[in-house]
């Protein structure tokens, strides 16, 4: 994938670093609903249990993407504000 990913709200320290198993999806500059749709498509390309770190820079996306991914059956492991006014969402793909 090669993109970046993160979310808003909680620390991500417990999750793996980007080079340690988590794919990254950088959605800075994108707005809802595209942020959710692109994150969901990226998760669907991963095996069950795969990790995805999504970076967003719109407060609405930071709030809604974790909620929507959880409603779609994926585990949201962490949400955290990061530098530059962005948020990181760490999620694990749920069952297909």
Specify the higher pLDDT residue, 83 or 28.
Answer: 28
- Pick 22-92's CATH classification: 3.40.190.10, 3.40.50.2000, 3.30.110.40, 3.30.70.270: 3.30.110.40
Angle formed at CA 60 by CA 41 and CA 95, multiple of 5 degrees: 30
Task: Indicate the domain borders of the chain.
Answer: 22-92
- pLDDT beyond 90 at 25: yes
Q: What is the pLDDT of residues 43-85, one digit of tens each?
A: 999 999 999 999 999 999 999 999 999 999 999 999 999 989 9
What are the residue numbers of the active site? 32
DSSP-assigned letters across all residues of 24-62? EEE-TT--TTHHHHHHHHHHHTSPTT-EEEEEE-SHHHH
């Amino acid at each position: 994938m090669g993109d970046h990913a993160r979310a808003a709200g909680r620390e991500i320290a417990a999750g793996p670093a980007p080079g340690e198993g988590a794919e990254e999806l950088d959605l800075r500059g994108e707005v809802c609903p595209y942020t959710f749709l692109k994150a969901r498509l990226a998760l669907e390309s991963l095996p069950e249990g795969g990790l995805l770190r999504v970076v967003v820079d719109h407060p609405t996306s930071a709030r809604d993407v974790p909620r929507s991914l959880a409603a779609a059956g994926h585990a949201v492991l962490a949400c955290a504000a990061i530098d530059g006014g962005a948020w990181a969402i760490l999620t694990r793909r749920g069952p297909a």
